[in-house]
Structure 1
């Protein structure tokens, strides 16, 4: 469009101030652009032509005074138009304006700006950004949303292609650049997915779609525009979906049940290996060729009806059946049909086949076992019953026969109707202590009432179980009336025996006291006679006197041992407990037996570990125990032999052991040697003298200290007597 030209000259007042400017000349374009006639404007002031004030007077005056040209755009309200105005001056006080009407251009720019804002708003709402790439200069304009998605502000984001390339992931860069080059040069739209480096979030996935335009006469584009979308969340979701599918596939591949999926037309699109195994199928492809609505064996089972119902209702369906597969395998199965829904619409189904052939066979065996159990139970001599909630729900014929009731009568009664009132509390306590979590069998005795009012002594055995999937108690009892009578007789006999034993012990104790008095006199007077205080004795008299003294001392030893055993059995033996060093007791006792050992050239060894070991015992009783065991060991050990005393803790227990390499003890005598008057030498014609009471007394003393004693021996190789003492 032709530009308008207008010549002007400023008008000054007397003070030299510019008060207006006059229009001195115009060109035809002026008339066309402004719609003013030449005769209406030339020679007139601006205020007369344009209004009460001179438009742009200050700008025009500066150019007219300085001679420096300027250009500006402006909206001119009197004419409601936008103008582009260039101003220059060749003579002071005059100026020329060259202008063009840019109203349409401004309107287009405004509409474009509004469209741009609308697009930016739409992109922002859609969480997308857009870019505009100048292919000639490689300048890239980015929308604020585009920069925000990458974490940058406008000041931080260079609007260059080079910066965009620097944001591309190294693994994606070559693919992205090649795709853009191929598609933009051909002016074809493209869409790619790639990773871009954001400012704060590291690498993120984006979708970039674009198209080139502004093609020249050679078909080469000069601009391209596109949309950038953040798809990181979608990518993460896809990754989770892939992971979920892999997990589902892994689960389906390893599950012990058969799985298939199908569409609503009955076409199979997936089968897992277990289903192929269950069906005996030759392979997945052969199985997929089956249509679940038309395959004859499936139709015969009525499966299409189940499947159709699941599709119509959207509800899972479960059923059990038995059939013979196409490949000849017969099986029992349980089938679950679970509709697959997408947005509330059924798109197919997951069908789970559980091979329950083994379970069905087990149920059959269980049924046979139950029938056998019932047969055995009914014919058992034991009275068998099952309780639930204190009600009898099963009894066998033996129980009915014992109580005199029919089964129906028993089932209508409470358990406590059969238990004697004085036994109800004990039985109730026993029953309450038994549960599924504590299924220990409980045994008790109680009195049972029969229909004809007889009382039966019975022994119960009760344990917890499950009967028809509910907690129950199963029990059995037998009539022990005769056994209880025998036990009562045995108890009475035992009481009489114990009374007789106490009487015997008291008699022996009394007799021992009565015998010790004259024996002490005999021994004492024989010792006095041996001193020759009443005259000298000849050799034969001395021999007879020695026999009297030795016999009396032996008899006194027997009487003392009998008295001690009687005291222990009568419960009147007292212990004087004190703290002692074990090695002192052993060494002092060894001193007492040293002459006996020396006489037979026997070595006695003492081993106390640790040496300072202490114990709380009756000093005299412990010394007698060790003395008896040592003298026995020396007695039954040949000349030149060895006896060892060893003391220490074994398994947290204080143990004494006296061992020898003597004659040993025959196996058949080892259980009897701790009984009174049992002597090892009795099997060898009294070769070894003794009363036979020493080991019996030792055993009593050990037991008084809450200990135990035993022997380990091999005939011809020696013996080891060991005992423990409670510390």
Structure 2
């Protein structure tokens, strides 16, 4: 029985040992996986911070490149863009292209398209088409380098989704912004930096090289680069986040949460960063500590197995000793685990601190140095070693004051006191290099405090190029100031010596004038110099139109001559002949010289002669037409009188009283017509010399209107026309001359009968209405005839003028309505003609119920 139990106990112990080893190995594997995840999470955080730093550095670099240079004082040009492109697209630059944009209001679109020799366009269905009308455009002036990734010249980037808002924000704030753009028909996106140019309606657009930023932001070393995935999204308004960057685009979109994430705002754009740990299938290798633990456990299990085997042989006599050994072994194992865990935590913290510092130092393009509390250099990055001109390994242990005189401890005081004077703000210093030369630099000193450490971070930037540019700019400024002063004195002497009015104008702003100019425009020099020429134009439309017509000719080098009607400083209008010439057509900013010659007297004489000629021709035409009409009108009744008188004479001997009565009736009718014509001529003559007399008395206007209508009813019925009246109130008492008002009504009603078609009606309407709170009598005569041409509604009341609709055989001298107007005006009233919607004419006259002032 004992022989059988010993092999079973050994087998059971072996199985337990194997199970224990496997459990231990599984626990160690879980620990390795957890540390691996923590390590990649730390590297992911580092990569996100590094990418954020590089994006901010790219914004700063773009802002520096967008500063105006001494080579382009008037604003950025294509030449300046080429220089900026060369600086922005070097191998270590974060950019792979740069563009110059313009801000073009709608009124300036034509001028801009002429300047770029092409239209402003938008992208529709992968084709460029002319841009529709908009209040404002943001077209591309030029893009360098000229490759497939750039924008074509003239493309309106304001038409892209979200661009116009970002461009206006950059213009208003003066700060650079980030703008994202998804390429049509692809999932790829691009990220741009837009920098407004100070005091110019222009922008610089930098195309960020996202792949280069990604490569520089990921940690060095194949394990990290192969198992770390970085993604960047842009959050634009409330839209779906736009994927900008993916280090593993060939893999699908991750569904799990990122191991490290960061959300920040850069360049007015909300960016979301995330890193993912790409797990590697298979078993992870154990480190030395884990192998040691596993080995110790295996040894302990072997010892335990040996003890069990020994105990199996010795049976129960060693059971107490075995229990004591097992207890001791468990205690030792626990103590060993605690020691190993403490050692791993310490090494992990130290590794994280060292990796963070080394990553910052190695990745930065700026020179970075770390110094301890007493100012001794402890670490430098490669950029700092290159700037100093000394190997990086020889710099630790050197005092920071040996490199920068401002940080030199001259009074043996504590370095923290010196650092406190410069901490938190950039300052300039001379770097003493390895060859004893001095390099102008800009330093930023910051104190870094960690739980177990405290040190100083010094960031150094080379500003020698900026210093040289500043010095060159000062020299150029002084030289230009001297040249401008000399040319100004020469121009002033030339202008003052000229008897003609002359002005030097830059950008339509007056820069210099002579005494003759001030006398011509009657203004003070204080109100002229540095003021726009708009003050001498009558309207904004005239000012803009003159600029469009003349300035493109000036820019072509031509001498411009034109005549304009301008106003002086006191508002007097004068005619001026202008002669203009650009100083240098290739450089419009240099301005133009203008000569002004007043020819107002000559122009006034021409206008007077032309007006007199037109009046004479019009008077001659009217009188000729009047005489022709009057001759016809007088000849017709005279022929009738003579003809019927001759017929009456020849028929007298034959008898026939009815026939003779008919002849004399027609003689009487023609005589009355001739008398009416003569009366019109006499009335007109009296009115022109002011000898027409009026007898204004209170009378019933309704009665007189009915009498005139009854009088002309026979004439109307002969043409199958009926006359209707609508008069209220009855009686209608007013103050008027009944004879003259009756003459007006007969004339209006006779004209209406002449031009009304058969089987039509004429309405005479009279009533009292209010005009500006004053009671007036309104009388209307409405017919159903052809109406009056719209362009003759006023002229038919002029003397000797007839409507074109009367030249069809109705006859007339053109005096009737002119006499009617004079009579109505004498009653302090008004008369007018209109057309009714149904097609007839309506003649209406009004006069006060009581005269407003004595005649």
TM-score of the two chains, using structure 2 as the length reference = 0.28
Structure with the largest fraction of strand: 1
TM-score of the two chains, using structure 1 as the length reference = 0.32
Structure with the largest fraction of helix: 2
- Higher RCO structure (Cα 8 Å, ≥6 apart): 2
